[in-house]
Amino acid sequence: MENGHILIDKPAHMTSFGVVARLKRVLSEQAGKKVKVGHTGTLDPFATGLMIVVVGTECRNAEYYSKLDKTYEATIHLGQTSSTGDPEGELTSVSDEQPAEQSVRAALAQFVGAITQTPPIYSAIKIGGQRAYDRARRGEVIEMPTREVKVASIELLSYSYPEVRIRTDVSSGTYIRTLAQDVGDVLATGAYCTQLRRMSVGTWSLDDAKTLESFGITS
């Protein structure tokens, strides 16, 4: 393929840029020339699931894809916080209180609708022309701008303390790591996101995605 888009099931422990770089190498080798490849919204390294990769002239439409609504399945771990909001950060114990399922459902319900989020400092958002995560890693104090996002729904898939599994439909720009932290604040237990899987982007589904292995990419 030299123009169009590819649905990829991103593996864990790989950056979105890593996915693009590997596909670019393979597609360029197949085409016998350099092929332009880009992504339409990053997934955190620990996260898995649907990435829409644009190729060739379709790269000009990357912003269209990035603005589409998304569906995620996530596991929220109660009782601790993480400096990055995910398993890769420094963990801090907050509380060993075990909220009742009714309390968990009530906390989740508070975040359905239009809400205001403060994105994590460890994110790809540019602050002063630099990625926030680069500045955070240098130890800089960063004031992250708040943003309004929309959470169309949150479904509680299961709850077995300390793990809360959810499925949520959200607008572009919503951070599930932040949602997990905010739920932990409401419950006064602390929380962070241990697993995150993007299930859909707009009308495109993870069910239709290819693995990197199908392109001969093993790492």
On whether both 80 and 176 belong to a single domain, the answer is yes
Using the predicted structure, report yes or no on whether residue 174 has a pLDDT greater than 90. Answer: yes
Using the predicted structure, report yes or no on whether residue 1 has a pLDDT greater than 80. Answer: no
On whether both 18 and 79 belong to a single domain, the answer is no
Give catalytic status of residue 96 as yes or no.
no
CA atoms of 8 and 126, how far apart (whole Å): 25
Average confidence (pLDDT) over 125-150: 73
On whether both 74 and 60 belong to a single domain, the answer is no
On whether both 166 and 126 belong to a single domain, the answer is yes
Q: Which CATH number covers residue 35?
A: 3.30.2350.10
On whether both 110 and 182 belong to a single domain, the answer is yes
Q: What is the domain range of residue 30?
A: 4-66+202-215
- Percentage above 70 pLDDT, the chain: 91
First and final C-alpha spacing in the chain: 21
- Per-residue pLDDT band for 125 (boundaries 50, 70, 90) equals low
The number of distinct structural domains making up the chain is 2
CA atoms of 74 and 85, how far apart (whole Å): 12
For β-strands 48-55 and 37-39, DSSP reports them as antiparallel
Looking at 44, 86, 169, 182, which residue is catalytic?
44
On whether both 197 and 139 belong to a single domain, the answer is yes
Using the predicted structure, report yes or no on whether residue 144 has a pLDDT greater than 80. Answer: no
